[in-house]
Homo-oligomer: A and B are copies of this chain.
Amino acid sequence: MSTFNVELKKIVDDSYEIETGFGLTDKLISDIKNGLVGNITKFAVVTDSIVKDLYAADILDKLKEAGYHADLFVFEAGETSKTRATKELIEDAMLEKGYRRDCCIIAVGGGVVTDLAGFTAGTFGRGVPFINYATTVLAAADAAVGGKTAVDTPLATNLIGLFNQPEKVYLDIAAWKTLPARQVSSGLAETIKHACMASKDLFDYLDEHMDEILNIDKAACEHISNENCRIKYEVVMKDERESGLREILNLGHTVGRAIETVSDYRLLHGEAVSIGLAAQARLSHKLGYMTETQRDDVIRLLKKAGLPADIPDYIDREELVKKLYTDKKVRNGQLRFVIQKGIGGVVEFESGVFALKIDESTAREIIYEM
């Protein structure tokens, strides 16, 4: 027997910039001209059937005008497109059009587009650079920081994917104006989550400026967008591989994910998370980590954002309780919740442990109350 040591210790710099603004397509083109992705001249613009005409076609035209080789790759809008099959279709279309390792992918759209395109970029030619041009409130709060890309499979959401960092992220607030009001509200659920878990100041800001935000006021939206990035970054930076601290981003997601599935996607992701946030606030109050006023403040803010804070009548409560066990935080068959502490914090049960074991009976009690 003999052994050979392959030494592969190195410094990796995946740093990138997030730019928030009103209409950033020209800035994107000028950044590319100024070397954002080196001397790459081929761009695959990946988008969905809704965003295509709103933004992606415009970006494509501007790339071509600037002398770049570019093509659009469009898939049907919606969460049900976030699959390995769609990834395969994009790959085959790119190969068909002669794209190889010397290209860059530009994802233009919401979370489904950025998740799917970021994953595709990570495995195309064993990794090509990608840029996120995010057009939704949810993508601004959720997809801009963290590097999580993935697709769903029949048996699991977001379980096949990669940690893959973009070259740059653009958060175009002007694009939020094209969103239906229900989508704007849904997108705000993750922002409210960030406030609940990490910033009383952001919570108060949301409370005071909710009308401006819902009307896509530039200053207010830029402010919450930056706060979202800052809060998520602080959590993610400290725990890139999602071992401990990053679990706090799961606040509200235990009931949220479960009810999203049980509703058969009648509830949007943010609406489901909103109900989940209300559920954990009730749980937190019951366990003594929040006052009654704090609990009610959370529920009131969710409603102010146009979000539901109660479980709809059509949801089978027992099915929901059962579904909680598919949560990724479950260990050895035991439910675990992240729990808010007051406004702007979470409970750290032991050093580095942020998910508390909760009895099924306690979870059921909350669910039947709502």
Binding site for B on A (CB under 8 A): 1-22, 24, 27, 84, 88, 91-92, 95-96, 100-101, 119, 122-127, 145, 147-148, 150, 153-156, 159-163, 165, 222, 226, 229-230, 233, 237, 240, 328
Contact = CB atoms under 8 A, between A and B. Distances in A.
Given A92-B153, A95-B155, A20 B3 contact: yes
Given A2-B21, A3-B20, A162-B162, 16 more contacts: A1-B22, A2-B20, A4-B226, A5-B16, A5-B17, A6-B16, A6-B145, A7-B237, A8-B15, A8-B16, A9-B11, A9-B12, A95-B155, A95-B159, A123-B123, A123-B160
18 contacts: A2-B19, A2-B226, A4-B17, A4-B20, A5-B17, A6-B17, A8-B12, A8-B16, A9-B13, A10-B11, A10-B240, A11-B11, A92-B155, A95-B153, A96-B155, A124-B160, A126-B159, A162-B162
Given A12-B12, A95-B156, A161 B27 contact: no
A153 B91 contact: yes
Nearest to A230: B4
A334 to B, nearest CB: 15
Chain copies in the assembled complex: 2
A163 B95 CA distance: 19
A-side binding surface: helix, strand, loop or mixed?
A: mixed
A102 to B, nearest CB: 9
A194 to B, nearest CB: 14
B27 A4 contact: no
Given A2-B19, A10-B11, A16-B8, A162 B126 contact: yes
Contacts of A1: 19-22, 24, 27
A77 B361 CA distance: 50
A100 B9 contact: no
